[in-house]
């Protein structure tokens, strides 16, 4: 596992929180540009998926399928957004690393 990938429940929680913060910042920049549709996608689909995954990570249930499912859903949403606007590419990369770490059954 690479050094920047989380390998404990606490590190996973922090990584998911960082992804949520990044997504929220991107949503705010979309709103400031008058693009509410991308912000809505983030707030209605991406962030809730990550919040669910974060909840399970916080209670150290790192093998719960909800973590992998939540991160996978968020990754799919970020991929769709990155296809529309490249500003979402760093978020997509972050989520892909999280998805890879979660698939390794972090304990």
Question: pLDDT tens-digit profile of 66-104?
Answer: 999 999 999 999 999 999 999 999 999 999 999 998 887
Assess if residue 79 is contained within a domain. Answer: yes
Determine the structural domain holding residue 46 and report its residue range: 9-102
Q: How far apart are CA 101 and CA 95, in angstroms?
A: 10
106, pLDDT greater than 60: no
Assess if residue 73 is contained within a domain. Answer: yes
Residue 104 has a pLDDT of 77
Assess if residue 3 is contained within a domain. Answer: no
Assess if residue 70 is contained within a domain. Answer: yes
**pTM score > 0.95 for this model?**
no
Q: Report the interhelical angle of 65-84 vs 9-32 (nearest 10°).
A: 30
Assess if residue 1 is contained within a domain. Answer: no
Assess if residue 55 is contained within a domain. Answer: yes
Assess if residue 2 is contained within a domain. Answer: no
Mean pLDDT of all residues in 14-31: 94
Q: What is the number of structural domains in the chain?
A: 1
Query: For 34-69, how does the pLDDT look when each residue is reduced to its tens digit (9 = 90+)?
Result: 888 999 999 999 999 999 999 999 998 888 999 999
Assess if residue 85 is contained within a domain. Answer: yes
Question: Which residue from 25, 12, 11, 9 is spatially nearest to 87, judged by alpha carbons?
Answer: 25
105, pLDDT greater than 80: no
């Amino acid at each position: 596992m690479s050094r920047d990938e989380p390998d404990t429940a606490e590190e996973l929680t922090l990584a998911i929180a960082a992804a949520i913060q990044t997504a929220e910042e991107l949503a705010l920049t979309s709103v400031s540009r008058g693009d509410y549709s991308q912000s809505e996608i983030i707030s209605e689909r991406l962030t809730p998926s990550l919040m669910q995954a974060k909840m399970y990570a916080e209670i150290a249930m790192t093998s719960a399928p909800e973590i992998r499912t939540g991160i996978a859903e968020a990754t799919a949403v970020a991929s769709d957004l990155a296809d529309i606007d490249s500003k979402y590419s760093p978020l997509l990369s972050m989520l892909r690393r999280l998805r890879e770490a979660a698939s390794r059954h972090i304990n």
